[in-house]
Amino acid sequence: MTTPHVLSIQSHVVRGYVGNKSASFPLQVLGFEVDAINSVQLCNHTGYSHFAGQVLQASDFETLVDGLKRNSLTSDYTHVLTGYVGSPSFLEGVCQAVKEMKQTNPNLTFVCDPVMGDNGKFYVPESLLPIYRDQLIQYADIITPNQFEAELLTGVSIKTKDDALLAIEKLHNRGCNVVIITSSNLSGSDDSLLLLGSSRNGETMEVSIPMLPAVFVGTGDLFTALMLAWLHKGESLSSACQKTLSCMQTVLARTLQHAQERAGTAKPNAGQLELRLIQSKDVIENPPAGVCQPTVLQRSL
């Protein structure tokens, strides 16, 4: 059996786990080769009191992709995974590369996390929105926006589950086979988030996700990487979500416990709350059952 091979295009940090650092290890543990192109490179994530680094531009991306093409390496990829991109020109380069790779290999799976913001606020240049909306998502097989990003991409104001399902349907109509709104405030509780997902084959589901009393970084990158892996392995959408969320809840609980032990009576800081991925290899490989069970909805999109 051929080993699946992912080209992962997202952020990089020297210290900690976000972007490619959050996605690569879990994918490798689950049997994937991973090649990483960094969209930005920082000393640590932006939740620290100080951060520094570089935002890569289109020319940087094109140089790397051109080198891969000259060595006939881009045809080896089974998946392209995209996450945080900080430059409009870089994202336009990604669009062109994905388009060419899909033309060369129609079986390539493109997994797009359209990272733009959350809770009504952008944390990338707003000029990235039309590139995602009008150029990139048409190539996406799997897309994982949060509630705010789904609203931006579809123009639907999501206030109810029906609104969310309408947004999902619009993304299906753009060509996305699997659409997952990874977090929304539609759970009806301040203690949980609601995930809603749909495959174009008809399965539509929701999952309530308990919230922990801390701010974690890199969780979206981990989620999308794990969903890529479990869907590739043939799991249904519901089963892939259950395995992914069960793993994540365990990783976050371990992270929080470790952070609280290190912090003592103080509030854990950003460094103490870095994801305990290496220490969670066991649950990445074998997610616990019975955690974050999906509910399959009757509506079929």
Q: Which residues are catalytic?
A: 221
> How far apart (Å, rounded) are the C-alpha atoms in residues 46 and 222?
17
Can you tell me the distance from the alpha carbon of 220 to that of 179, in angstroms, rounded to the nearest whole number? 14
Residues 6+ apart with CB under 8 A from 73: none
Output phi, psi for 55, to 5 deg: -100, 120
CA distance 237 to 200: 10
Angle of helix 237-263 relative to helix 219-232, nearest 10 degrees, comes to 150
3-state SS, one letter per residue, for the chain: CCCCEEEEEEEEECCCCCCHHHHHHHHHHCCCEEEEEEEEEECCCCCCCCCCEEECCHHHHHHHHHHHHHCCCHHHCCEEEECCCCCHHHHHHHHHHHHHHHHHCCCCEEEECCCCEECCEECCCCCHHHHHHHHHHHHCCEECCCHHHHHHHHCCCCCCHHHHHHHHHHHHHCCCCEEEECCCCCCCCCCEEEEEEEECCCCEEEEEEECCCCCCCCHHHHHHHHHHHHHHCCCCHHHHHHHHHHHHHHHHHHHHHHHHHHHCCCCCCCCCCCCCCHHHHHHHHCCCCCCCCCEECCCCC
